[in-house]
Structure 1
Amino acid sequence: MSASFAFYIHHHGSGHLMRAISIASQLGNAKVTFLGSDLMRYAEVIPNAITCIHLPGDVAGPEDPFASRMQLSFLHYAPLNVERVARLAAAISAALHALFPVILIVDVSVEVTMLATLCGTPTVVIRQNGDRDDNAHLHAYECAQLLIAPSTAQLMNPSPYDWVNSKTFFSGGFSKYSGMGQHLGAVNPWSIGVIVGSGGTSINGAVINALATQCSGWSIHVIGAVSETERVVTPNVIFHGQLNDPASVLSGCSVVIGNAGHNTVMEMADLGKKFVCIPEDRPFREQLRKAALLEQNGMAVVVHPEELGNVAWEPIIRQAASLDNNCWQDVIKPSALADVARRLHGLWENNFSHQQS
């Protein structure tokens, strides 16, 4: 019986999807299915071999006049009287039934993990940074057969619960550039990169204009969608828009500015970039915890969003440029994705290679 893995992919940003694509690429001949409510937006980057099941959203709309929310300790999101929530639960349950037998990798949702458990489906949960020791997370971690932290232990704030840490497989870092060879290129010491993801950012046109004004001797290369671009009036800014391969630009930059999303951080490590990190406000203080670990380990210079209005950018850039050339050492593990795939296939064998007593 061939292995079958399904990934539940959270709709916030693109990081969950890109991680799933990276892991799926190493699963060999296994059947792979993606479940998510925002997959259509990324259809061009999802390999054709992966089956996509498009899920309805779960947010109340005008058609839900009696919608309300329950505040429960064991769930993060518990709306009442929202028809889409019933449709979503039915769609996920139907998918797991149709795919049976299957292992579901959840990236991330407490509620989906618990629903899959009620459907009798083995689950794997992706661990993220942040304050995730509330009842809801702990229940999901208990349901999971395996927790995967897609990084080194050094960059994952530990849980105060030993059983959570011991249940976690720390894969080592990986990114979409892993296994694709070095992106060395010639680094221009007078070139600064700014990368903006799709999960929301405080890096806007005003911030970029202040950076470019204060660092007038540098060229500023901006990747991603930025708001308020009309406020950029300096001539040393180049907007590249959305790029399928940001490394084509970033490899030549001496310093890169970006947020503390996990995938951005891993990409900076894979590319060996000197990094200025701006941690955004995310649930469970995810990016704040990641940024603190980066700063503690000498891997980045941290600027908080509330400081952006009066940052002295030139000293920040020079401080970042002086970070140790080996500051990312051992963060990226070349075998990380293959190791994750081995653990998943091992879990499949444990569940389905012999009858349980």
Structure 2
Amino acid sequence: MIGYYVHHQGSGHLHRAVTVAPHLPGPVTGISSLPRPDAWTGPWLQLPRDDAASSYAEADVTAAGRLHWVPTGDQGLRKRMAAIAAWIERHAPAALVVDQSVEVGLLARLHGTPVVAMTAPGVRTDSAHLLGFGVASAVVGAWPDGWTDRLLPGLGVPGERMHTIGAVSRFPVATDRVRTRRRPHAVLLAGTGGDGFTAQVVARAQEQTPDWDWTVLSRTLGSWHADPAAVLADADVAVLHPGQNSLAEVAAMRVPAVVVPADRPFHEQQTTARALRDGWPAVVVDRVPRTGWRDLLDEAVFLDGQGWAEWCDGFAPTRLADVVKQVAHEGLA
């Protein structure tokens, strides 16, 4: 049995879990406070939330800076950790993939369960991350080989425990893009809205680019498509915040991009954006621009989207499976 912990923030962790789980060895149990997705075929351990209290102002949520989220006296935290511990006792998993939680990884390792810790880019040299990476049997970054020093600056995880698998996309890699439009087409990936992409930003960008068609993939700012891969396949340029999931999907579809980093903990997207300036098919700006959208799109459209091939080659799930098999085998030896 393999466990797979899915962090509840956003949808990217869940998309990644659903994509890679069929490639992992043996039965895989999903563990999350997110509802079980329809596409999940194995068991699912439903956890209570640990952030449902009205206020955490009086709680020590970081254990004096040693962890990320352990609010004292929180009933949800107590119940979710007890549920995971009971599951480990019941199933004696060969390994637990943790995407992402220092606390869950530490809990598993305290039960003698080997941990495969997924990580995102960013400056993750704080005490909690160092602890979480230190107890993991393997640390996995979903980016190309050779880019860890750029995407995890200053961390220095030993090479035998650090594994890079490339970006994980729920969409298959595009082999031949055939566009159906005469006018150039920009696709904005805005998710649920917020961050720097607002209705005003969208309207301003469209006003400044009258020769372009726009599709806004967003539950609040535009329309939500059941098959966003088909929309991206017909795009000349994608505009996005460089979260791991959105970036992986754009790379898989081989679409050149305009990349606008949003504020995230540990400088995750700023770190990614800096790396993307170095030869990838992306025009990177530091913040959402008020003007200049026509120039940005015109610059990006001439970039070769095939340059994403190294970022996302479609084999990340099997590489992760190889890491999990190795960790599980060593844990049973």
| Length-normalised TM-score, structure 1 | 0.85
Match of 1:218 in 2: 212
Q: Deviations over 1:2-50 (max 9, x none)?
A: xx1111111111111111111112125x11111111224xx23x32x22
Match of 1:58 in 2: 50
More off after superposition, 19-28 vs 64-73: 64-73
* Paired position in structure 1 for 2:22: 25
1:83 aligns with 2:75: yes
Provide the C-alpha distance between the structure 2 equivalents of 1:75 and 1:216, rounded to a whole number of angstroms: 49
Cα 1:278/1:287, change in 2 over 3 Å: same
Indicate the residue corresponding to 1:184 in structure 2: 177
In structure 2, the residue matched to 1:16 is 13
- Return the alpha-carbon distance in structure 2 between the equivalents of residues 135 and 224 of structure 1: 36
Write the letter of the residue equivalent to 2:307. C
Query: In structure 1, what is the Cα distance between the partners aligned to 2:192 and 2:13?
Result: 11
Confirm whether residue 290 of structure 1 aligns to residue 283 of structure 2: no
Q: CA deviation at 1:331?
A: 1.7
Aligned-partner residue type, residue 83 of structure 2: A
- Cα distance in 2 for residues equivalent to 1:190 and 1:64: 48
Between the aligned partners of 2:242 and 2:178, the Cα distance in structure 1 is: 24
Q: Deviations over 1:103-149 (max 9, x none)?
A: 11000011111111112211110021000011111111111111111
2-structure distance, mates of 1:223, 1:337: 25
8 Å CA contact 2:208, 2:291 repeated in 1: no
Aligned residues: CA RMSD: 2.3
Aligned counterpart for 2:235 among listed residues 230, 247, 253 = 253
Q: Is the 8 A contact 1:172 1:336 kept in 2?
A: yes
What residue in structure 2 maps to residue 39 of structure 1?
35
- Contact between 2:193 and 2:219, CA under 8 Å: does it hold in 1? no
Equivalent in 291, 295, 310 of residue 311 of structure 1: 291
Q: Which residue of 1 aligns with 2:316?
A: 336
Task: List per-residue Cα deviations over 1:168-226 (Å, max 9, x = no partner).
Answer: 111123311236x6362216451111112258532121111011111112111111223
Q: 1:183 to 1:194 in 2, by over 3 A?
A: farther
Q: Does 1:268 align with 2:250?
A: yes
Range with bigger deviation, 159-168 or 282-291: 159-168
Seen in structure 2, the aligned counterparts of structure 1 residues 85 and 174 have a Cα distance that, compared at 3 Å, is: closer
Separation (CA, whole Å) in 2 of partners of 1:224 and 1:155: 30
CA contact (8 A) 2:138 2:162 kept: yes
Q: What is the CA-CA distance between 1:244 and the residue it aligns to?
A: 3.1
Deviations 1:234-293 (A, max 9, x none): xxxxx4x22232111111111111111011111111111010112111110101111111
Is the 1:194–1:221 Cα contact (8 Å) retained in structure 2?
A: yes
Question: Which whole-Å CA distance do the structure 2 matches of 1:342 and 1:298 have between them?
Answer: 27
Q: Residue 72 of structure 1: CA displacement?
A: 2.3
Task: Output the CA distance in 2 between the equivalents of 1:296 and 1:12.
Answer: 29
Quick one: structure 1 residues 130 and 50, their matched pair in 2 at CA, closer, same or farther if it must change by over 3 Å? same
Note if contact 1:260-1:291 (Cα within 8 Å) is conserved in structure 2: yes
Which residue identity does 1:271 align to in structure 2? M
Does structure 2 conserve the Cα–Cα contact (< 8 Å) formed by 1:5 and 1:102?
Answer: yes
The percent of aligned pairs where both chains have the same amino acid is 27
Question: Structure 1 residue 66: deviation in Å?
Answer: 6.4
In the alignment, the residues of structure 2 paired with residue 63 and residue 210 of structure 1 have an alpha-carbon distance, to the nearest angstrom, of: 37
Tell me the CA shift for residue 99 of structure 1. 2.0
The separation in 1 between residues aligned to 2:245 and 2:44, in whole angstroms, is: 22
Q: Between 155-164 and 117-126, report the one with greater CA deviation.
A: 155-164
**1:70–1:190 CA distance, 2 compared to 1 (3 A):** closer
Equivalent of 2:300 in 316, 320, 325: 320
Q: Which runs of 5+ in 2 are unaligned?
A: none
Provide structure 1 residue ranges, at least 5 long, that are not aligned to the other structure. 228-238
Assess, with a 3 A threshold, how the Cα gap between structure 1 residues 176 and 70 changes in structure 2: closer, same or farther. closer
User: Equivalent residue of 2:191, what SS?
Assistant: coil
Amino acid at match of 1:317: L
Which structure's relative contact order is higher, taking Cα pairs within 8 Å and 6+ residues apart? 2
Secondary structure, counterpart of 1:25 in structure 2: helix
Letter in 2 for 1:315: D
Query: 2:274 corresponds to which letter in structure 1?
Result: A
* Cα 1:161/1:274, change in 2 over 3 Å: closer
Q: Distance in 1 between matches of 2:301 and 2:2?
A: 42
- Report the number of matched residues: 330
* Higher alpha-carbon deviation: 201-210 or 122-131: 201-210
